[in-house]
Structure 1
Amino acid sequence: MIRAEAADVPDDGALKTPDRLRRRASRLLSQLTTRSDRLITEGLAQVNARKWHYAVLASLQEYGPGSQAELSRRSGIYRSDMVGVLNELVERDLVERAPDPGDRRRNIIVISTQGRRHLRLLDKVLDDLHDELLAPLCPAERDQFVQLLTRLLDHHTQTS
């Protein structure tokens, strides 16, 4: 089996990746995504959190209470995985489940006061991690990079 990153193994301290590979946006995005995921996952683990915790808490803070299905759509977490994420957040008193007054068969999820505090901590942790990830870029370049990524993602999300 060939490892996907085998071409990037340092040789005498320098990367020996062929130029035609280094010019491919898809490859660069894939490699940066791998490194970004590792950085964010490890950084959040240091404060006993995961990316999905942040996604749910941010969604609740910005859009208010919602059902599990709504939270799944808002956050991009599969519905089948949402129950486990919510169970973790409930155990930590970061969210609360309450019966939906309009449909007693369904629960509404609400961010707790502790959840709002934890979200502020996670914002700070992620700000620091993003500073590390984007260290080679000046602030204007960082803003432009995020704008370009957003435009690309919005385009491909709308056309998919």
Structure 2
Amino acid sequence: MRTLPTRLLSLAAMHSDRRVNEGLAGAGARKWHYAVLATLIEDGPASQAQLSERTGIFRSDIVAVVNELVERGQAERAPNPADRRQNVVTVTRAGRTQFKRLDQLIAEAEEDMFGPLSADERAELVRMLTVLLQHHGRG
């Protein structure tokens, strides 16, 4: 079992997931908060359906995530002027500040996780994981 790539990948993923979750929890956030803020910052305002598609968060869950960000003042939701049946979500200044904080926590978690690897080894790991995810339709 010590040399099974699936098992090793699973164990590494569990450790990575735990480390990231613990880091974000210290800032009162979850991975989904980070994903939505990052998407809004990188791609601009979006409908909840677009956020669901871009982040991979189920539509049934995206509403709760957006609600939490709105309640915290990190995002705003307003009717879409082009289609009033839809809401458009935008990031606020507080959301940008929170994103910077969360981005730093993610960087610290990654450094903890991948510290033993050189920059070249990290790049190769990212390349190989990308190949696997693309092969399985998740890239």
Do they fold alike, i.e. is TM over 0.5? yes
Q: Which residue of 2 aligns with 1:32?
A: 12
Letter in 2 for 1:82: I
Q: Percent identity?
A: 50
- Which residue does the alignment assign to 1:104? 84
What 5-or-longer segments of structure 2 have no aligned partner?
none
Give the structure with higher Rg (CA): 1
TM-score (norm 1): 0.83
Aligned residue number for residue 17 of structure 1: none
Higher RCO (C-alpha 8 Å, min separation 6): 2
Structure 1: 5+ residue stretches without partners: 1-20
Structure 1 segment 5-84 matched on structure 2, within 5 A: 21-84=1-64
- 1:91 and 1:151 map into 2 onto residues whose CA distance is 38
Q: Which amino acid aligns with 1:149?
A: L
Secondary structure of 2:136's aligned partner: helix
The answer to which of 150-159 and 97-106 deviates more is 150-159
Partners of 1:158 and 1:98 in 2: CA distance = 31
Q: Note the C-alpha offset of 1:156.
A: 1.2
Instruction: Please give the alpha-carbon distance, in whole angstroms, between the structure 1 residues aligned to 2:46 and 2:12.
Output: 33
Task: Point out 4+ residue stretches in structure 1 off by more than 6 angstroms.
Answer: none
- Are 2:68 and 1:126 equivalent residues in the alignment? no
**Alpha-carbon spacing, 1:98–1:40, altered in 2? closer, same or farther (3 Å):** same
Compute the TM-score of the two structures, normalised by the length of structure 2.
Answer: 0.95
Tell me which of 130, 136, 139 is aligned to 1:156: 136
State the alpha-carbon separation in 2 of the partners of residues 139 and 31 from structure 1: 22
Name whichever of 137-146 and 49-58 sits farther off: 137-146
Count of aligned residue pairs for this structure pair: 139
